A and B are shown apart, each in its own frame.
Chain A
Amino acid sequence: MQPNNSLDGHILSVLRQSLRTVLPDLSEEQLVLDRDLAELGFNSLDRADVITMTMEALGVEVPVVQFLGVKTIRELTQLFARQSRR
């Protein structure tokens, strides 16, 4: 895996904001890049909320189904980065 600084900082901060909006009890330290979102307590509905909120904030409009199988904050950030570039 690449070091953290290879990730788009803006996307990561928007995503972290969405994650903490959905589950406000999580601390910044708990949002480790390679932690599985389900393990952090995000169920399917929560994950859908995080994805759609982040899409809104980034102005990305793609089907939610493209995010199937994406498990970690790192993977989500990378996928959003690919889609924002389009």
Chain B
Amino acid sequence: MSASELGIGIEDLNVYLGCLKVPVRSFFQARGLDERRYGNLQMQDRSIALPHEDPVTHAVNAAKPIVDALGDAERASIEVLVTASESGVDMSKSIASYVHRYLGLSGRCRLLEVKQACFATTGAVQLASGYLASGISPGARALVIGTDVAIVNERAQYAEPTIGTGAAALLLGPRPRVFHPDHGAFGNHSFETMDSARPRPDFEIADVDGSLFAYLDCLDRSFAAYADRVEGVDFERTFDYLAFHTPFVGLVKAAHRKMMRSTGADPGQVAADYERRVAPSLVYPGQVGNLCSASVYLALASIIDSGNFDEGTRVGLFSYGSGCSSEFFSGRIDMESKRTLAKHRIAQRLADRIEITFEQYERLLEENMKCLVPVADRVLETAPYDALLDRIPDRDPMLVLKRIRHFHREYDWV
């Protein structure tokens, strides 16, 4: 049986987007950035993590509501757990190993962490879907979680206001309620380049032009590869919505403009098409910042929650990860996608984040920059942040990092 016959797809999708936010504009004032460039970003807020959050807690906090909603048999059917991250906490031990423990998943499970910058989640989704579709373990499910933290400071200049923090968890299986991939509809483009990287656990390199140009080339080429596989494809007419990897909203707008120009559309048509097919994907990303490889799934969630559609709606997705590797693929969403996602109250949880001042952000930044730096022993105090967390209405219990003991991370629920 093929994947479409088995109907492998996204059964459930949830995101964790932090408890705090800072308005993007405040970075321009505080860092002395050129205000004229604020408009290019088209971002409102950036999610900020607390010092006792890390890629493990983000991943667990995104996946917990999905796992909790499963029956015992369904939970036991999660045979593959993959974390996708550019925020590894150890060179050997995976984030997935911690996530497996704190989600309480079955011991009969394959654990893995993958890395390819902001492409890693899509790479893992495609490989895991192929495994599930192979039919060698009927009824099996896979949990793929893209999770990352921000480790940039003022050195990053215009990238600092746009980096997000958080995770997207995707449950893949035979009863997709959120997203039905179009079988065999994908195209890739990859080549080696040094457009951005994290050579050290507290230092990021970002070549703005290099990243932008590689992104645009990959979109063009991966869509061409997609069109070679799928008959009768038309960028303007095949997709009702478009969800792109979103480093910042302005880049997606430029990428869409480039693709539309090649169809011969005039500027008025491009603008109308953007509002209709692209803008719904940017409602959430514009409030969060770049969620690395989870970003394109936040864009998908944004379409499902804010798009105005009923049945059988096709979405074209573009995933890009520096370095670089990319994929254009597609699938369908419907009213069941809306109902399934509504349970996770993403818009409400975004609105419930606490806005902090830039001074508070700077104090947190000092702590957050240590998040991935290896230390043998460390105790994290959560008490200083209780007052902030208490301001969040109806807050679900969240996993936090309590201490590191001989490099082993210990977590607890608060």
**Interface residues, chain A, CB within 8 Å of chain B?**
43-45, 47-49, 52-53, 56, 63-65, 67-68
Contacts and interface: CB of A to CB of B under 8 A. Distances in A.
Contact of B250 (A45, A47, A63, A65): A45
Nearest to B248: A45
Interface string B204-230: 000011101110110001000000000
Contacts of B193: 65
Interface in B363-397: none
Contacts of B208: 44
A73 to B, nearest CB: 17
A52 B251 CA distance: 14
Contacts, number: 41
Determine the main DSSP class of A at the interface with B: helix
Given A56-B261, A65-B193, A48 B254 contact: yes
| Pairs A-B, 3 closest by C-beta atoms | A64-B213, A45-B254, A63-B217
A67 B262 CA distance: 19
Contact of B258 (A43, A47, A48, A68): A48
B213 A48 contact: yes
B254 A65 contact: no
A17 B261 CA distance: 15
Contact of A64 (B37, B216, B250, B251): B216
12 contacts: A44-B208, A44-B209, A44-B212, A45-B212, A45-B251, A45-B254, A49-B257, A52-B216, A63-B213, A63-B221, A68-B209, A68-B210
Given A45-B212, A48-B216, 6 more contacts: A48-B258, A49-B257, A52-B261, A63-B221, A64-B217, A65-B213
Nearest to A61: B220
Nearest to A52: B258
A43 B258 CA distance: 16
A43 B38 CA distance: 12
Interface of B: 37, 40, 193, 208-210, 212-214, 216-217, 221, 250-251, 254, 257-258, 261-262
A39 B152 CA distance: 26
B257 to A, nearest CB: 7
A44 B212 CA distance: 7
Nearest to A21: B267
A53 B212 contact: no
Nearest to A64: B213
B214 A65 contact: yes
Nearest to B258: A52
Contacts of B221: 63
Nearest to B324: A65
Contacts of A49: 254, 257-258
A68 B40 contact: no
Nearest to B259: A52
Contacts of A53: 261
